[in-house]
Structure 1
Amino acid sequence: MADSAQLRDLASDDLSAAIALARSLPEWFNHRGLEQMAVDLHHQRGAVVEANGEFVGFVTWFSRAGVGEIGWIAIAPDHHRRGYGARLLEFAEDRLRRSGATEVRVATLGESVDYEPYQRTRAFYRAAGFLDFESVMTDDPGMPESLTLQKPLSPILPN
């Protein structure tokens, strides 16, 4: 990732930029997903990455009962494969760990759907240490198989 990149907390002023970015990724986010994202962005914690002052990505997360969950993550198409997603994911994991989460999960499109963008998505999470946790077939045509991946979070060690 370029040295000029900066990570910071997601602010309410960022919500329209986040939705606009997600709209530029129709391979990953359909209309229904964008509608849900617009709701979730108001309730989930998040971070953004900017490169040379440009909004190039974001991640959101939440936790319940000690389990952190990645809500949404998106990187501008012309900034893929530059390490921005990995940095955002690490940022979210650190925040979840600090809030007491002992593991983090993410739901994505499952293996039964032969769709290259989500093959890359699953590879991204697996490269970050996530393992398959649960696969569920659904009636949702936008996500006929929901695959949940899971990663343990190491505890924060005292100084």
Structure 2
Amino acid sequence: MSVRHAASGDVPELVRLRQILADRMAQDGSYPIDGHWHEAYAASLDERLESPDTAVYVVDAPEGGLAACGIGLIFDCFPGPTVPGGRYGYIQGMTTDPAHRRRGHSRAIMVMLMDWYRRADIRRVDLHATSDAESLYRELGFVVDDYPSLTWRNSS
């Protein structure tokens, strides 16, 4: 297995994998899913693939397409006690196609993402986990933050 950077030609497969994740997340929580996100997601991915603040790693499936993917983002905020440099990371879209699970793809992608964050001197990385992947993230050093995480969604 080899992890590589995603290319523009991978965008349709990245959208497919994101749909798999959205369906799985809906099982764990009450995430409302808007049916019109695919085109905007594809356009945003294609635009950000070359950004120095975005890393998209993939593992190819032997039969073609993608077996797994993961996205790392770096955001700017005001420096403070928990983010002294004013930059933090967020991992989004970690997904493995069900036909390719339990083969180490997500772990390999996470190792690449965490190396990317370390090279960028990012000292805080957040993510949201499904119950399927929580143990992997804990093995890699992620912990439940004692500070409450709240979300606001516009219901209109």
Alignment TM class, shorter chain as reference = 0.5 to 0.7
Q: Does the alignment pair 1:56 with 2:58? A: no
Q: Which moved more, 1:81-90 or 1:46-55?
A: 46-55
Q: Percent of aligned positions with the same letter in both sequences?
A: 22
Q: Which moved more, 1:79-88 or 1:34-43?
A: 34-43
Structure with the bigger percentage of strand: 1
Unaligned runs of 5+ in 2: 27-31, 49-53, 76-85
The question of whether the paired residues in 2 share the 8 Å contact of 1:19 and 1:34 is answered with no
Q: How many residues end up aligned between the 2 structures?
A: 128
The question of whether the paired residues in 2 share the 8 Å contact of 1:23 and 1:34 is answered with no
Shift of 1:23: 2.4
Shift of 1:40: 4.7
Could you tell me which residue of structure 1 aligns to residue 99 of structure 2? Answer: 78
The question of whether the paired residues in 1 share the 8 Å contact of 2:69 and 2:109 is answered with yes
**TM-score (ref. length: structure 1):** 0.67
The question of whether the paired residues in 1 share the 8 Å contact of 2:20 and 2:95 is answered with no
Higher relative contact order, chain-length normalized (CA < 8 Å, sep 6+): 2
SS of structure 2 residue aligned to 1:27: helix
The question of whether the paired residues in 1 share the 8 Å contact of 2:18 and 2:93 is answered with no
**TM-score (ref. length: structure 2):** 0.68
Post-superposition Cα deviations, 1:105-142, rounded to whole Å, max 9, x if no partner, equal 2134xxxxxxxxx22232221122100124334455xx
Could you tell me which residue of structure 2 aligns to residue 92 of structure 1? Answer: 113
Unaligned runs of 5+ in 1: 109-117, 141-159
